């Protein structure tokens, strides 16, 4: 018997990202998400006989952008191929993909652990292909309804080498990839809408021995589930190997509720895709100038934003890292900071309360429902003393629940801070009158008594009293 520690986990990921082009890959139908079923379709994406595809040039541009920002070499000579298989949501019974001449080859993405150690995960290839439609299973009447709005939406598939050795590394790789795709603006990567999904290949082997046979878990679209699925498979495969079982190549699905994988198909019915060059499309030839031009126009990447934040806004490296880890955070930070001129306060909101709420709701940063303008206004309202920071937190909750202008929220709720001297004085006198013991305690040197008195005054005003004025006035009265 050997122990668990003798085994090494090996993971390779095939990531599908929907490209955010306005139109589909081979026709001019809209790629908009969430439309009424079968309203974004035409003879081409529904595979009417005789309909001919025309390649959307933007798709090539976006894929080249993705390749360049993941250190790939771009192939000047590329083509599309037919991948044949039958599935009810695939009207042509083949998918137009790329087989032996993908657009991008041999890149890498760098990931970092908590201690700043970095590691390269190599990328084997990135190719372009079309998405399939969607089957909506009808639980009541049985059967399935097919929606072809998504058929023909452009995808890139990013295939990694099996360089990932823990579920944590897989998570970091995926998050890094997602952030790159968002920074270069080729995909919104909304996992909840299926814009980013991964096939997860997992095997185990003893260090120094050849790689084990992989299990492939299909179509995963949550970071958490991917980590759980990898950990589950690792455990299970080690136990199987230890018990003398041979691992066979299988395709699995993950059940998030049960927390386990189950078999979809084994190697026996592995697909033979009978790839061949797509005869209805011409080959793709890219000039050096074309590639060079895309390279020169890539947007600012996280590394450079990070440097800028450290220099211009005096953030620490860790703080800057936090912001650029998500393009949504980074964009809000820049925009809100620009408006309210208090970058540090914007950072603090993002880093503390906003992150906490996102966590509680299991939201991604790009699901923040309010605008950078809203956040800037919240900061300004606190900075100019209109509301206290504790009221600010309540305003933030409102922004998440029902986003509207913070000014409107505090008016509606009557949350404006009391900064009127006579009103504050009235409360201070009342609280002092009701708490003679605290006065005595304070005079006897117990500083805690002051905090208690301020607390009472806050209770009295439902948290709306200006805390600085309260403190000053209590001190003035107590020292009389």
Would you tell me which residues interact with ligand ADP (CB under 6 A)? 10-14, 159-162, 201-203, 211-212, 214, 216
Contacts of 395 (CB under 8 A, 6+ apart): 378, 381, 387, 406, 409, 410, 415
Q: Please state the closest distance from residue 198 (CB atom) to Mg ion, in A.
A: 10
Residues that bind Zn ion (CB under 5 A): 27, 29, 42, 44-45
Q: Please state the closest distance from residue 36 (CB atom) to ligand ADP, in A.
A: 33
Smaller CB separation from Zn ion, 29 or 124: 29
Q: Please state the closest distance from residue 87 (CB atom) to Mg ion, in A.
A: 15
160 binds, options Zn ion, ligand ADP, Mg ion, none, Cβ within 5 to 8 A by partner type: ligand ADP
Q: Please state the closest distance from residue 14 (CB atom) to Mg ion, in A.
A: 5
Smaller CB separation from ligand ADP, 78 or 386: 78
Smaller CB separation from ligand ADP, 92 or 127: 127
Beta strands in 94-186 (DSSP E): 94-97, 104-112, 118-130, 134-137, 144-147, 154-160
Token output for 132: 């399939």
Smaller CB separation from Mg ion, 8 or 14: 14
Collapsing DSSP to helix, strand or coil, 465 comes out as: strand
d(Cα 456, Cα 168) in Å, to the nearest integer?
A: 48
Q: Please state the closest distance from residue 201 (CB atom) to Mg ion, in A.
A: 7
The closest of 364, 469, 358 to 420, measured between CA atoms, is 469
152 within 8 A of 27, measured Cβ to Cβ: yes
The closest of 338, 340, 419 to 383, measured between CA atoms, is 340
Question: In this structure, how many other beta carbons lie within 10 angstroms of the beta carbon of residue 454?
Answer: 18
Start-to-end Cα distance in the chain: 80
DSSP 292: H
Strand 250-255 with 215-220, pairing: parallel
27 binds, options Mg ion, Zn ion, ligand ADP, none, Cβ within 5 to 8 A by partner type: Zn ion
Residue nearest to ligand ADP (CB): 12
Site string for Mg ion, 5-44 (x = CB under 5 A): ---------x------------------------------
Q: Please state the closest distance from residue 10 (CB atom) to ligand ADP, in A.
A: 4
- List binders of Mg ion among 189-218 (CB under 5 A): 199
- Residues in contact with Mg ion by CB under 5 A are 14, 199
């Amino acid at each position: 018997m050997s122990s668990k520690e003798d085994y090494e986990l090996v993971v390779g990921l095939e990531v599908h990202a929907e490209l955010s082009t306005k139109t589909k890959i081979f026709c001019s139908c809209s790629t908009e998400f969430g439309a009424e079923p079968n309203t974004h379709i035409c003879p081409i994406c529904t595979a009417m006989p005789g309909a001919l595809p025309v390649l959307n040039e933007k798709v090539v541009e976006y894929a080249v952008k993705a390749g360049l920002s993941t250190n790939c070499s771009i192939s000047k000579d590329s083509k599309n191929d037919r991948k044949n298989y039958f599935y009810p949501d695939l009207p042509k019974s083949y998918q137009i993909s790329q087989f032996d001449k993908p657009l991008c080859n041999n890149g890498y993405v760098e990931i970092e652990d908590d201690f700043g150690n970095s590691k390269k995960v190599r990328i084997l290839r990135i190719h372009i292909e079309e998405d399939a439609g969607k089957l909506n299973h009808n639980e009541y009447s049985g059967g399935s309804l097919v929606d072809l709005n998504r058929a023909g939406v452009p995808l890139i598939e990013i295939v990694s080498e099996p360089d990932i050795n823990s579920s944590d590394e897989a998570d970091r790789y995926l998050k890094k990839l997602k952030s790159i795709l968002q920074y270069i603006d080729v995909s919104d990567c909304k996992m909840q809408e299926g814009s980013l999904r991964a096939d997860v290949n997992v095997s185990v082997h003893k260090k120094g021995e050849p790689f084990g046979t992989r299990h492939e878990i299909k179509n995963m679209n949550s970071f958490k589930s991917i980590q759980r699925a990898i950990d589950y498979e690792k455990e299970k495969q080690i136990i199987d190997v230890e018990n003398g079982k041979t691992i066979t190549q299988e395709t699995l699905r993950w059940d998030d509720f049960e927390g386990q994988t189950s078999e979809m198909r084994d190697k026996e019915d592995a697909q033979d895709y009978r790839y061949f060059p797509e005869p209805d499309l011409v080959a793709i030839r890219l000039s050096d100038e074309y590639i060079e031009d895309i390279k020169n126009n890539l947007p600012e990447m996280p590394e450079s934003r990070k440097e800028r934040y450290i220099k211009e806004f005096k953030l620490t490296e860790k703080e800057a890292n936090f912001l650029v880890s998500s393009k949504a955070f980074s964009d809000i930070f820049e925009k809100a900071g620009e408006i309210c001129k208090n970058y540090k306060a914007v950072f603090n909101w993002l880093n503390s309360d906003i992150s906490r709420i996102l966590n509680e709701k299991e939201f991604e940063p790009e699901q923040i429902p309010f605008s950078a303008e809203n956040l800037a206004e919240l900061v300004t309202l606190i900075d100019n003393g209109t509301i206290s920071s504790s009221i600010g937190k309540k305003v933030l909750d409102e922004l998440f629940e029902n986003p509207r202008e913070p000014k409107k929220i505090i008016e509606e709720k009557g949350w404006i801070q009391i900064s009127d001297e006579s009103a504050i004085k009235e409360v201070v006198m009342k609280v002092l009158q009701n708490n003679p013991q605290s006065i005595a305690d304070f005079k006897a040197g117990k500083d805690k008594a002051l905090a208690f008195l301020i607390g009472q005054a806050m209770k009295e005003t439902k948290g709306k009293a200006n805390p600085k004025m309260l403190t000053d006035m209590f001190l003035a009265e107590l020292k009389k």
